[in-house]
Amino acid sequence: MKPAEARAQFPALATGPVELDNAATTHKPRCVLEALRRHDEQACANVHRAAHARARAATQAYEEARARVARFLAAEPREVVFTQNATAAINLVARGWAEPRLRAGDRVVVTALEHHSNLVPWQQVCRRTGAELVVLPCDAHGRLPLPRELPPRTRLVAATRVSNALGTLVDTQELVENAQRAGAAVLLDLAQAAGHLPLDGGSHDADFVVFSAHKLYGPTGLGVLRGKAARLAEMEPVTFGGEMVSSVRPEGAEWQLPPLRFEAGTPPIAQAAGLAAALDFIDGIGLPGIREHELLLLDRLLAGLARVEGVRVVGPPTAAERSGAVSLVIPGGDVQVAAAVLDLAGVSVRAGWHCAQPLLERHLACGPTLRASVAVYTDAADVARFLDVLPEALAASR
């Protein structure tokens, strides 16, 4: 399938507004909706323990989904943990792997581009352990120049592959190589990259990677943690209950091997089946084709915004340095008002801090932004409609 043919696979887009809020969540293609319905109609049961036919079908689908994610990430099924979302996956690593190992004087390195979900957990872990949090600064265009060396006693580097607020691409391959030379572990946040870009070497080699299903055409309520097998074996569970135990006695319990050790309680079974279908959908188009399609849209969007008076684009100046999103500020205007006017005109965008307040407020000093973000189903007409109604939104915002 070519990207231009993908739009027809999304029932939600048959009617409704122009969808340019895709960095927040994406719509689901028909194959994902069918996978969710098929689970509920044919295999609605809990996994792993029951012997009846529906439970066997649910267990098979769940573990096949794990294997499907593993193939997508060039990993092994035992390295794939299902969580509630990418945020939960990051918190699991922060509490289960980093916190027991950090000591006063150690350092955790993050970047200025991080979503709050890949910043606040590390703030909390450093506060509890006495470790120091070091933030790698970005330049005035929101690009991330990488240092030649990491600070002494860096134990972990946590970085995004793509900035959710700006769309900036990060050279995670070089970052991972730098961290490995320093003996530090690496967690990469692929939430804004997994459905847009082919995986780079850094994503393959990092100790941990995370993403959310709902940002790559899958269901909400499901995240993925891929941890190298040796790292998962070192991790402590942080959520306790059924399923994650191998035996329980009144005085204590023993844990399952990873990944089940980290999946306490009833897991997101239907959502896992939906994610597997979403990955099949993506592979049917190909991530290189999706990237090429989105680059054309970003080029068109940036060129159009350059002709609009009264806005300033924030972030890298070229499409090649971006993936997915373009943010802009309205000097003297209110981005929330502009977003509301765009909504009335049938265009959905997002306005605010985008869970990246330190980046926008401290590092770039630009304040909240209006963000338009594309997906595989976005077309040139969507971009044109946004550019057509934007001047009206700008006027109203002032």
Tell whether 292 and 326 lie within a shared domain: yes
Q: Are 77 and 96 found together in one domain?
A: yes
Of 231, 265, 283, which marks where a domain is finished? 283
277 and 303 in a single domain? The answer is no
> Residue 51: pLDDT band by 50, 70, 90 thresholds?
confident
Q: Is 44 a catalytic residue?
A: no
Pair 276, 296 in one domain: no
Q: How does pLDDT run across 8-49, given as a tens digit for each residue?
A: 999 999 988 999 999 999 999 999 999 999 999 999 999 998
For residues 249-264, average pLDDT: 97
Residues 241 and 300 in one domain: no
* 3 state SS of 350: strand
> Which residue in the list 31, 44, 138, 355 is annotated as catalytic?
355
Please give the pLDDT value at position 50: 81
Instruction: From 254, 283, 312, give the residue that closes a domain.
Output: 283
Residues 76 and 50 reside in one and the same domain: yes
Residues 17 and 65 occupy one common structural domain: no
For 140, which DSSP code? T
| Contact by Cβ (8 Å): 34, 273 | no
In tens, the pLDDT along 76-133 reads: 999 999 999 999 999 999 999 999 999 999 999 999 999 999 999 999 999 999 999 9
215 and 311 housed in the same domain:
no
Q: Rounded to the nearest 10 degrees, what angle do helices 287-305 and 269-285 cross at?
A: 80
Q: What is the pLDDT of residue 4?
A: 83
In tens, the pLDDT along 335-358 reads: 999 999 999 999 999 999 999 999
- In contact, 144 and 162? CB cutoff 8 Å: no
- Residue 150 sits in a domain whose CATH number is 3.40.640.10
Structural domain count, the chain: 2
Percent of the chain with pLDDT over 70: 100
Q: Tell me, yes or no, whether 173 and 211 share the same domain.
A: yes
Which CATH number covers residue 340?
Answer: 3.90.1150.10
Task: Select from 169, 140, 175 the least CA-distant residue to 156.
Answer: 175
Query: 363 and 241 in one domain?
Result: no
Domain residues for the domain of 305 are: 3-27+286-397
Work out the pLDDT band at 3, boundaries 50, 70, 90: confident
Residues paired with residue 210 on neighbouring β-strands, in sequence order:
189, 225
Last residue of a domain, one of 255, 283, 311: 283
